[in-house]
Amino acid sequence: MFKDLVLNIFISLRPRQWLKNLVVFAAIVFAREFFVLGKFLPVFYTFLLFCAASSSMYLINDVVDQDRDKLHFSKKTRPIAAGKLPINAAIFVSIVLAIISIAASALLSKYLLFLVIIYLIIELSYTFVFKEIILLDVITISFAFMLRIFAGSIVVLTPLSSWLILTTMMLALFLSVGKRRSEFTLLTSQQGRQHRKTLLFYPQQLLDGLVFMMATAILITYSLFTFNSPELQQKSFLASFLPQTLATSKLLMATIPIVAYGVFRYLYLIFEKSEGESPEKILVSDKPLFSTVVLWILAVMFFLYFSSI
């Protein structure tokens, strides 16, 4: 019995969603400080506390939406909606995780404490208010996502590129709008009315336009980010392969085609397979997209940390 309770609590924490919190490492990765222990550890702790904070809010969201989740083709299997996890237990765990995240952030940085509190307030506001307001629902989700990248920067006082901030913002909006577009396709009119009222007010043409707009914005902002990134001096390894004119090239620009393919693949999954409802699920289940993300990470790490050896 206790084992089942622990298992259902863990499932309700939505561990796959913790992938979103990896964005806290962005600042130190692109500042070439990822392997600096004094920088890595505070950011790693920030990652953990955001996992706790986000899971706390997922529990509250599942409690509030339990009746509507029962009508959803996949969410009805969630422990709270399925009646496998008592509401009192879910609320208790949520409060404990929220307190832990606030206390841990206070130990790391007063600025981080402020961001975590703002994050919790935004998530609660989304659950109780903004979820039912067209456009503000996706903007709220995106803003909460954005706080993570600022948290990873502020906890170690590592500057963030303005273009990287914009890229992250566009990515968050892209995923949020893509999620709504897939929900619009997957849910029938009656299901949409009962599960998520805002779907009734989203014209399909608007969702399609927003998805393509955000996809374009990602490619533009990321390209400008790589173009404006510091030039990497090529020493022994790449210098032997590259011509003199590329001796101080902005090598991160070589990752633009990888990002472009990733965006195009995600668009394909949204419109052809209607699988954008759960971005974190797609990331680990769609092999081409997963391989693209892994390739992008390896390319970025190589160009930033190993190309000048």
Q: Where are the domains of the chain?
A: 1-160, 161-309
Among 53, 252, 15, 257, smallest CA distance to 147 is for: 53
Q: Report the length, in residues, of the chain.
A: 309
pLDDT tens digits, one per residue of 53-70: 999 999 999 999 898 888
pLDDT at 8: 94
Q: State the Cα–Cα distance between residues 60 and 93, nearest whole angstrom.
A: 10
| Token duo for residue 265 | 């693949």
pLDDT at 280: 77
Higher pLDDT among residues 135 and 193, named by residue: 135
pLDDT at 190: 46
CATH number of 1-160: 1.10.357.140
Residue 216 has pLDDT above 90, yes or no: yes
pLDDT at 277: 63
Its pTM stands at 0.89
Residue 249 has pLDDT above 80, yes or no: no
